[in-house]
Chain A
Amino acid sequence: MKKLIHILFIVLVPQIIIAVLIYNYQNIKNEGNLEELQEAYAQVPQSSVDHAEFAVLQQDFETPHEVTEACLSCHTERGQELLKSSHFNWERETFIPGRGVVYLGKNNLINNFCTGIAGSEQTCTRCHAGFGYYDTTYNFHNEKNVDCLVCHDNSGIYKKAKGSAGYPAMGENAPDYGAIAHHIGRPNKQNCGVCHFYSAGGNNVKHGQLEKALLNTTKDVDVHMAQNGLDMECVDCHSAENHVMKGRYYGISSRDYNRATCEQCHNDRPHEDDIINEHTIKVACQTCHIPEYAKVNATKMYWDWSTACDLKDGNPYYELDSMGNKAYLSIKGSFTWKRNVKPDYKFFNGTADHYLLTDVVDTFPVQINTLFGSYDDRESKIWPVKIHRGKQPYDPQQKRILQAKLWDPEPGNGALWVDFDWDASLKAGMEYIGLPYSGEYEFVETEMYLPLNHMVSPATKSVSCAECHNRDNSRMAGLSGFYMPGRDRNNMLDLIGWILVLGSLAGVIVHGGIRIAINRKQNH
């Protein structure tokens, strides 16, 4: 009996102890700062003044320019700040490897949604943080052209009018500036959302993760902005210094600076498990924490301009898809919408290139923007992206993407959405830009890459290890140039390995079989 206990203590007990240790092992826990953050952001900043008390705001404003003047009479330096900001300039100096210094922005870039503003400014600049941007003659140096209220009216009363180059309604329909004055403050979700939720002409069309659902949502959709959570504002992360907001949108940005990052609050080792922290060397936070986009309303995945201009009885029309989204519009063509979309993934180092209207291309699909990055690049991380595919006009002679003039207050000026004539609109658009148009056009495939940053899911819903680390259905299947455990293998090595193992097995089976057979024979 004593002997048996001794044997058990040597042969069995240590194994049980080791097994229990392995099972209960916990990594050294890192100090998370989540609680501190929650405390800090739970405090809603209170305005120290009621702007309605100020005499300068107790007047009957004739024009919105007068409102701006009133603002600037106290906030004397802010106008100049705005004149330097990209919300006002729609263009900034940037550097792109291979191109050098270029001036890029909404003013001169083309995309594969509504394409570009050239010739159609009067409607597009409804989202300009200024007044009166009708065309290229606009004065970007007059601080009275700045629109303060579109960002700082927290009442929701102030609205810019359609097709009015950034002006609100005037005269009788003018906003109630007296009421607005009571609610001046830092920009809230509605202020930012009025443009950023509806970019490309409708809710969630462009970004797929910035949409009106964020105004009233749950933690499952957006852990930061949820009404049942911290209810954070856009500017909590996109904080501003002298009206320069943190954050880059790579549909127009090219450089890696002043980005709004997760790390600015969460640091780069926020997980309890160090193996997960190590991932941050090569994997962006967003990759695991944004498992899908377009979680509430659908987003556009494909925009085919080639079918535009079809009319019924001479009138434009639209068709709805099964989700109730416009699948066809005479003015814009056909679209594919998707909800709950799994992102694509790219190595991205925070710099990007853009298709410029002067570029000559003959490889398709045309890359509207290019996110730079690769596994070997030390600054690159894997990012989730929305890839928006399009089909848009192209000049096979000049080998350039063509910009159509889309809108005009009057018919007969070549605007596509008014006259429904491709050739006329392309002629008007290219003439406006000052680039040649051969008169010949066709529709070519284009691709645009939008890194995803918003609608962060709760930690419990983040992408699990096995969704990437698996052989057949990895989220990272499209990425190459590196070895990923669980996904990759060397087929030759595996073949040799299994031949070795199964060969050994076969060998001992045969060997043992012969021994058994001989034994039987002898026993008989």
Chain B
Amino acid sequence: MKKVYIYKSFERFWHWSQAMLIIFLAITGFEIHGSLDLFGFELAVKYHNVAAIAFIILIVFTIFWHFTTGEWKQYLPTTKNLQAQIRYYITGIFQNAPHPTRKTTLSKLNPLQRLVYLGLKVFIIPLMVVSGLLFLFYRYPQKGDIEYINVDGLENIAYLHTFGAFLLLAFLVVHLYLITTGHTVTSNLKAMITGYEELEEEGEDMVSGTETEAKTEENNSKS
């Protein structure tokens, strides 16, 4: 085992900012939806809208980071080991079986994570951003000083935004739990805070993304 610097500064800053913003957006969003009563509707709307702008700024920087560092390749989907990973969570984990996917700096994600995070980045976050922006900037036809985005009503926009919110909330629940399924119960959490994680040294760390799904070994998986 070797201590590896796996999560870089920006990555951790991004992760925790995103975590806070998503949780805060969920709380204020579900208050607007009428499921909670915490800040009051007026403040909830105000906070939700400002947090949304902060989130969008963060997303812009993060997209830039992903492309300039090549980290986007981490999310290329693969079916290799996918079944093994699923089997691990269903049965293997209870039998102290080894993690089927090795975690390296160039392949931090197991195939299941790749699929889920890619879905998050390509479908759910864009769905929330687009429906959220429509929510913010729609105008009824031919009213207001400028022709903004004209729609006849909020209904469909609101349903899409709500649906995305439920998916994110479900993701959050599972994600929080899977943190505990690392090498030790807290190793994943520690890694995301400090950046360092103890990984199996195999000398293959430098091999790029899709090829690095090593066959065996009891390696950790970031959730």
Query: Chain A residues in contact with chain B, CB under 8 A?
Result: 3, 6-7, 10-12, 14-15, 18-19, 21-23, 25, 269, 275, 278, 281-282, 375-376, 378, 464-466, 469-471, 482-490, 493-494, 496-498, 500-501, 503-505, 507-508, 511-512, 514-515, 518, 522
Contact = CB atoms under 8 A, between A and B. Distances in A.
Contacts of A494: 162
Contacts of B165: 497
B142 interface: yes
B13 A378 contact: no
Interface stretch (B45-53, B66-74, B107-115, B124-132): B45-53
Nearest to B15: A11
Interface string B130-171: 000000000111111100000011110011001101110110
B54 A14 contact: no
Given A483-B153, A493-B163, A508-B177, A501 B140 contact: no
7 contacts: A14-B13, A22-B51, A464-B42, A466-B40, A469-B41, A470-B34, A484-B154
Interface stretch (B16-24, B78-86, B197-205): B16-24
A483 B51 contact: no
A6 B142 CA distance: 52
Contacts of B174: 504, 507-508
B153 A482 contact: yes
Contacts of A508: 173-174, 176-178
Contacts of A466: 40-42
A117 B170 CA distance: 68
Contact of B158 (A10, A378, A483): A483
Contact of B162 (A469, A493, A518, A522): A493
B38 to A, nearest CB: 12
B140 A18 contact: no
Contacts of A515: 93-94
B142 A378 contact: yes
Contacts of B59: none
Contact of B144 (A278, A504, A505, A507): A278
Give me the 9 closest cross-chain CB pairs, A-B, nearest first: A497-B166, A508-B177, A483-B155, A466-B41, A465-B42, A25-B50, A471-B34, A483-B154, A281-B143
A6 to B, nearest CB: 8
Contact of B159 (A493, A500, A503): A493
A28 to B, nearest CB: 13
A296 B171 CA distance: 55
Contact of B177 (A269, A512, A522): A512
B87 interface: no
B167 A500 contact: yes
B121 interface: no
Contact of B163 (A14, A487, A497, A505): A497
Interface string B1-28: 0000000010011001100110010000
Nearest to B54: A18
A497 B162 contact: yes
Nearest to B152: A376
Contacts of B141: 378
B193 interface: yes
Contacts of A281: 139-140, 143-144
B186 interface: no
B50 A378 contact: no
A480 B36 CA distance: 24
B180 interface: yes
B159 to A, nearest CB: 5
B120 interface: no
B166 A500 contact: yes
B45 A275 contact: yes
A488 B159 CA distance: 10
Contacts of A269: 145
B193 A7 contact: yes
Contacts of A518: 94
B154 A496 contact: no
Contact of A15 (B16, B34, B49, B145): B16
Contact of A490 (B50, B145, B162): B162
A485 B16 contact: no
Contacts of A511: 89, 177
